Structure 1
Amino acid sequence: MSTKHTAKCECSQLQRHRCKFQPVLPAILQKGPAFVKPKFGKATKSVADQAAVKRIFPNTYGLPEITFVKGANSAVAKKAVRVGVVLSGGQAPGGHNVIGGLLDGLKKANPKNKLFGFLGGPSGIVENKWVEITPALMKDYRNTGGFDLIQSGRTKIETDEQLKAAKDNLIANKMDALVVVGGDDSNTNACVIAEYLKQQGVDISVIGVPKTIDGDLKNKQIETSFGFDTATKIYAELVGNICRDVNSARKYWHFIRLMGRSASHITLEVAFKTHPNAVLIGEEVLAKKMTLGQIVDNLAQLIAKRAKAGKNYGVVLVPEGLIEFIPEMKELISALNDSLADNEAELSKMNTVAEKKAFILSKLPAKLADLMRSLPEGIASQLMLDRDPHGNVQVSLIETEKLLVEMIRTKLAEMKKAGKYNGKFAAITHFFGYEGRCGVPSTFDANYTYALGYNAAVLALNKCSGYLSSVRKLTKKAQDWECGGIPLTMMMNIERRKGKEKPVIKKALVELKGEPFKHLAKNRDLWAVEDLYVFPGPIQYFGPAEITDMTTYTLLLEQGKKVK
């Protein structure tokens, strides 16, 4: 069902100039799809749980990796094709450039090729709501933030009815391929759709594109997800501004929680860019089996140490998913996930929060029930009631920074009575999340997303299905990037969701033996006591390449580059 396009917004001066920016394509793609051939590598296997993943995806498991090489490939231009694209999950800077690259790649192969955007996320496929994306329509959205061209959504196409409706609508609209732009859950869903279509004997390719500002969709083949670079630069500007305010006023402690879901990549990258006094990394907390009390004690000791030096101020970065990494809290959350899933019908009949809480407490082991009772009422309610579409705790709604401040204040009062602290503690809390999701993409992300979209077009034209668009060697200049496709099943493992074992793309967490964390460990003691704040300022879109084209410290460190 064709829908009239209504997305419209006023253009700023920056947007008007930014629309004129022409992303740099990797050299391998510059002549067009008809001059690119896929080179197939060895058969692959999933990152874990190989037998289970293969059983679930018998038609798409074991596909070879693809690298694009130069070579005549006129077959991709002979038949006009129709390709659908859908944006899935949370927004990330650069989504419009994925669509722009996809459109340009298709049109370069054959001007008669057509691109259609499904509206409102995956539900648009099931409900058959779409708009044709033409060069004229695309014109005002190039190099802009947001997903407003076709919007996004979090619907998962997983039931038999949804899969059949998606298949029927793709066939009815004569689609040759579907491109799913999303994170780990969305691309897991893309793999499910690809497998279903193969099983049904339907010749429609499904290709994923790695999107998430959280930075947790990456591996050796997918070096970073798009949007991470831009989002961390936006957050770093805000944190840097607070660092400068702290250094000017010298009377407040700022506790800043940063988006990032279950991984601490954003917090780590922002720390590199700003040098705060304390950086909590959830993965380290888990590895050291730290309790909530130990985290509070450590921060209280730091605050006391700085107060002794006359510094009653500082900046603390807190990852969004910290509470999940505290072993005692992780155990509680896991038990809650299972208990809430198992008793969903009974809970739906209850009218009050108190009634639901009492019921759940009765289902938990005594140790975990006591822990639940010890938490502030607001935190306990958030753990129990605020769930995401997958049935898991919505960590973004848990105000961990406020919990820490409350507990630190109590601890400092105890220390003051014992004569171990004689400072002043005034705290301000922040959460930076949505501020970073729809920013104007940095030059790195503008180039990267355009290449990912164009690369996805080449995969579609070569009838590759069950692949994730992959652009690699990202610390080099954009023209030197390598392109190809990675089998989606290659990144799969089995995890527990809503009380059941399900295949999902494995999340990439901060590696404590990796170079980025080692860099933090080497410098954080100095940052703790000295005021070595860095003020990165806003993203630069015009000027020297060393400023406009810079990428993340995380990526540089992971690829063996030296950073200050």
Structure 2
Amino acid sequence: MANSPLNGKRLGILVGGGPAPGINGVISSVTIEAILNHGMEVIGFQNGFRHLVEGSTTKNRVLTVDAVAASYHRGGSILGTARTNPAKDEKDMAKVLGVLKEMNIDCLVTIGGDDTAFSGSQVAKRVGPGAVRGPGENKFLRVCHVPKTIDNDLPLPEGTPTFGFETARHLGTLTTRNLHADAKTTGRWYVIISMGRAAGHLALGIGKSSASTITLIPEEFRDKSITLEGIADAIIGSILKRKLQGKDYGVAVLAEGLIESIGEKGLLSALGEDELKHYGRIERDEHGHLRLGELEFGRIVKDYLKKRLKELGQKMDFIDKDLGYELRSADPIPFDAEYTRDLGYGAVKFLASDLSSQYGAIISFIDGRMVPLPFEQMIDPKTQRMRPRKVNVDSESFKCALRYMVRLEHADLEEAASLKALSGLTNLSPEAFKARFLPTITE
């Protein structure tokens, strides 16, 4: 402790963005490591940057080992969280820097996703390594960011998950398995919408782990246009193939990012604005575009499936289920409990190193070793975000996932007897059936 360059220093810690299992693990690990092994005082800022942009020096608390020791395995965040982004306004950022200076903060650890990482990087840019400070201005600050999201879409090294993802996949899988049992018992289909706007990791992880009948993610469409009709027909193809197997039930898992891929024009083309009003508030942003997050995507898909099946002479019962919010503040499974301890320890290790006097960084682990990833390498200054990590649809893992789904394949449409059997379940001729469903096949 006596030899630590952080001895006697003050460390601030805050959480931004949406919840993820393991936040308390990071807070706990950072606090214990900083106090016991580096002789620091730790200040927890409540609700992210929200009160800092107000210039408040009172919405925080001193964190002690006893206060955080028992929280590492609990869900939620003992410091709360908020989506306030001080980097959008220089006046807000000035207030943040003013509070940090007034409270004599020497090191800052931010926990969050893209926006929080960018905010942390902007603090580092202004008062961190390389920043030019005049007389009386903020003192030098060491800054690092611990990335979190259940979507697993931040560009960490290959095979390195964001914390919270494994817990969300685990609990989402258990829920989906239960729904699969209900589907089998009652003879119906479930349409499950999984969180994950930028990438399909969580949807695919849940679908694959629960042996769901079919999983659809935006990445699998590659450069092809994604339409509501195409999504519905991919699921209908699975439904019909299951019927030939004597099974009138199933589970379809869809990534919520599919609605973004369909887009405003696609939804309006398939449904029209009047019908779209039945699925949520029709709100538009300052550019006149629909806020797709206000629409119930699961219910849209469910009703559209019924309509498309009816046109084919088929009927099926569906139930839609959104999966995500109940996963975000869950107690972390052992993987994330252990992983977040590593991340918290790694954050303080970085801050105590000479590297933190050279740059601010995002904390990552590769092959069991802490690797700080400089903000400048990870964040695009134009978009103010990290490049989303997409599902690698050329990987063996994705190909394996496809093999265990029930989906139409080329053989189903090329073999005459199979094509005749499938088309016989509908009012389409074999030729018309093949023409309609051939585009739904994933290569």
Tell me the TM-score normalised to structure 2 length.
Answer: 0.82
Is 1:262–1:322's contact at 8 Å kept on the other side of the alignment?
A: no
Q: What is the CA-CA distance between 1:517 and the residue it aligns to?
A: 1.8
Matched, 1:76 2:4: yes
Identify if the C-alpha distance between structure 1 residues 185 and 303 changes in structure 2 by more than 3 Å, giving closer, same or farther.
same
Partner of 2:170: 233
Q: For residues 280-299 of structure 1, what are the structure 2 equivalents within 5 Å?
A: 280-299=216-235
Secondary structure of the structure 1 residue equivalent to 2:392: coil
Paired residue type of 2:276: E
Paired residue type of 1:524: M
Which structure has more relative contact order (CA 8 Å, sep 6+)? It is: 1
Alpha-carbon distance in 2 for matches of 1:318, 1:379: 21
Q: What is the CA-CA distance between 1:296 and the residue it aligns to?
A: 1.5
Q: What is the CA-CA distance between 1:526 and the residue it aligns to?
A: 7.3
Counterpart among 467, 470, 483 of residue 364 in structure 2: 470
Structure 2 unaligned blocks of 5 or more: 134-138, 410-443
Identify if the C-alpha distance between structure 1 residues 376 and 516 changes in structure 2 by more than 3 Å, giving closer, same or farther.
farther
Partner of 2:403: 522
Alpha-carbon distance in 1 for matches of 2:407, 2:308: 24
Alpha-carbon distance in 1 for matches of 2:279, 2:132: 46
Paired residue type of 1:152: T
Q: What is the CA-CA distance between 1:407 and the residue it aligns to?
A: 1.3
Identify if the C-alpha distance between structure 1 residues 299 and 526 changes in structure 2 by more than 3 Å, giving closer, same or farther.
closer
Alpha-carbon distance in 2 for matches of 1:222, 1:254: 30
Q: Per-residue CA shift, 1:477-504, capped at 9, x if unaligned?
A: xxxx11131112212236xxxxxx5332
Q: What is the CA-CA distance between 1:467 and the residue it aligns to?
A: 0.4
Q: Which stretch of structure 1 is more off in the superposition, 187-196 or 512-521?
A: 512-521
Q: Which stretch of structure 1 is more off in the superposition, 100-109 or 216-225?
A: 216-225
Matched, 1:384 2:312: no
Is 1:218–1:224's contact at 8 Å kept on the other side of the alignment?
A: no
Q: What is the CA-CA distance between 1:287 and the residue it aligns to?
A: 2.9
Is 1:215–1:266's contact at 8 Å kept on the other side of the alignment?
A: yes
Alpha-carbon distance in 2 for matches of 1:115, 1:294: 53
Q: For residues 310-321 of structure 1, what are the structure 2 equivalents within 5 Å?
A: 310-321=246-257
Secondary structure of the structure 1 residue equivalent to 2:51: helix
Q: For residues 34-73 of structure 1, what are the structure 2 equivalents within 5 Å?
A: none
Is 1:255–1:428's contact at 8 Å kept on the other side of the alignment?
A: yes
Alpha-carbon distance in 1 for matches of 2:289, 2:74: 32
Partner of 2:320: 429
Partner of 1:491: 378
Partner of 2:432: none
Alpha-carbon distance in 2 for matches of 1:94, 1:469: 15
Identify if the C-alpha distance between structure 1 residues 234 and 117 changes in structure 2 by more than 3 Å, giving closer, same or farther.
same
Over the matched positions of the two proteins, sequence identity in percent amounts to 27
Is 1:182–1:212's contact at 8 Å kept on the other side of the alignment?
A: yes
Identify if the C-alpha distance between structure 1 residues 395 and 116 changes in structure 2 by more than 3 Å, giving closer, same or farther.
farther
Counterpart among 503, 506, 515 of residue 387 in structure 2: 506
Paired residue type of 1:405: K
Identify if the C-alpha distance between structure 1 residues 398 and 293 changes in structure 2 by more than 3 Å, giving closer, same or farther.
same
Partner of 1:206: 143
Is 1:184–1:506's contact at 8 Å kept on the other side of the alignment?
A: no
Q: What is the CA-CA distance between 1:190 and the residue it aligns to?
A: 1.2
Q: What is the CA-CA distance between 1:516 and the residue it aligns to?
A: 2.9
Q: What is the CA-CA distance between 1:166 and the residue it aligns to?
A: 0.9
Identify if the C-alpha distance between structure 1 residues 221 and 247 changes in structure 2 by more than 3 Å, giving closer, same or farther.
closer
Is 1:206–1:467's contact at 8 Å kept on the other side of the alignment?
A: yes
Identify if the C-alpha distance between structure 1 residues 378 and 161 changes in structure 2 by more than 3 Å, giving closer, same or farther.
same
Q: Per-residue CA shift, 1:421-452, capped at 9, x if unaligned?
A: 4xx41111111111100111111100110110
Alpha-carbon distance in 1 for matches of 2:289, 2:115: 13
Paired residue type of 2:153: D
Alpha-carbon distance in 1 for matches of 2:269, 2:154: 35
Partner of 1:87: 15
Alpha-carbon distance in 2 for matches of 1:482, 1:230: 22
Is 2:190–2:252's contact at 8 Å kept on the other side of the alignment?
A: yes
Alpha-carbon distance in 1 for matches of 2:18, 2:123: 20
Q: What is the CA-CA distance between 1:308 and the residue it aligns to?
A: 4.0
Paired residue type of 1:295: I
Q: What is the CA-CA distance between 1:514 and the residue it aligns to?
A: 2.8
Matched, 1:118 2:45: yes
Identify if the C-alpha distance between structure 1 residues 274 and 143 changes in structure 2 by more than 3 Å, giving closer, same or farther.
same
Paired residue type of 2:258: L
Alpha-carbon distance in 1 for matches of 2:268, 2:291: 20
Paired residue type of 2:98: D
Counterpart among 419, 438, 444 of residue 329 in structure 2: 438
Q: Which stretch of structure 1 is more off in the superposition, 507-516 or 378-387?
A: 378-387
Q: What is the CA-CA distance between 1:90 and the residue it aligns to?
A: 0.5
Alpha-carbon distance in 2 for matches of 1:411, 1:266: 27
Partner of 1:448: 339
Matched, 1:105 2:33: yes
Partner of 2:125: 195
Is 2:241–2:407's contact at 8 Å kept on the other side of the alignment?
A: no
Matched, 1:153 2:40: no
Identify if the C-alpha distance between structure 1 residues 288 and 433 changes in structure 2 by more than 3 Å, giving closer, same or farther.
same
Q: Per-residue CA shift, 1:446-469, capped at 9, x if unaligned?
A: 011011011111122236142011
Q: What is the CA-CA distance between 1:178 and the residue it aligns to?
A: 0.7
Alpha-carbon distance in 2 for matches of 1:516, 1:376: 39
Alpha-carbon distance in 2 for matches of 1:527, 1:142: 45
Q: Per-residue CA shift, 1:39-58, capped at 9, x if unaligned?
A: xxxxxxxxxxxxxxxxxxxx
Q: What is the CA-CA distance between 1:240 and the residue it aligns to?
A: 0.6
Matched, 1:413 2:342: no
Alpha-carbon distance in 2 for matches of 1:86, 1:222: 27
Alpha-carbon distance in 2 for matches of 1:150, 1:470: 22
Q: What is the CA-CA distance between 1:246 and the residue it aligns to?
A: 2.0
Is 2:197–2:260's contact at 8 Å kept on the other side of the alignment?
A: no
Is 1:157–1:193's contact at 8 Å kept on the other side of the alignment?
A: no
Q: For residues 137-148 of structure 1, what are the structure 2 equivalents within 5 Å?
A: 137-147=67-77
Q: For residues 24-43 of structure 1, what are the structure 2 equivalents within 5 Å?
A: none
Q: What is the CA-CA distance between 1:391 and the residue it aligns to?
A: 11
Q: What is the CA-CA distance between 1:369 and the residue it aligns to?
A: 7.3
Partner of 2:188: 252
Alpha-carbon distance in 2 for matches of 1:375, 1:280: 27
CA RMSD of aligned residues (A): 2.8
Q: Per-residue CA shift, 1:111-140, capped at 9, x if unaligned?
A: 3x1111100111132333210001121133
Is 1:379–1:399's contact at 8 Å kept on the other side of the alignment?
A: no
Paired residue type of 1:151: G
Aligned length: 395
Is 1:163–1:196's contact at 8 Å kept on the other side of the alignment?
A: no
Is 1:184–1:505's contact at 8 Å kept on the other side of the alignment?
A: yes
Alpha-carbon distance in 1 for matches of 2:398, 2:159: 19
Identify if the C-alpha distance between structure 1 residues 78 and 454 changes in structure 2 by more than 3 Å, giving closer, same or farther.
closer
Secondary structure of the structure 2 residue equivalent to 1:154: coil
Is 1:321–1:395's contact at 8 Å kept on the other side of the alignment?
A: no
Q: For residues 393-412 of structure 1, what are the structure 2 equivalents within 5 Å?
A: 396-412=293-309
Secondary structure of the structure 2 residue equivalent to 1:83: strand
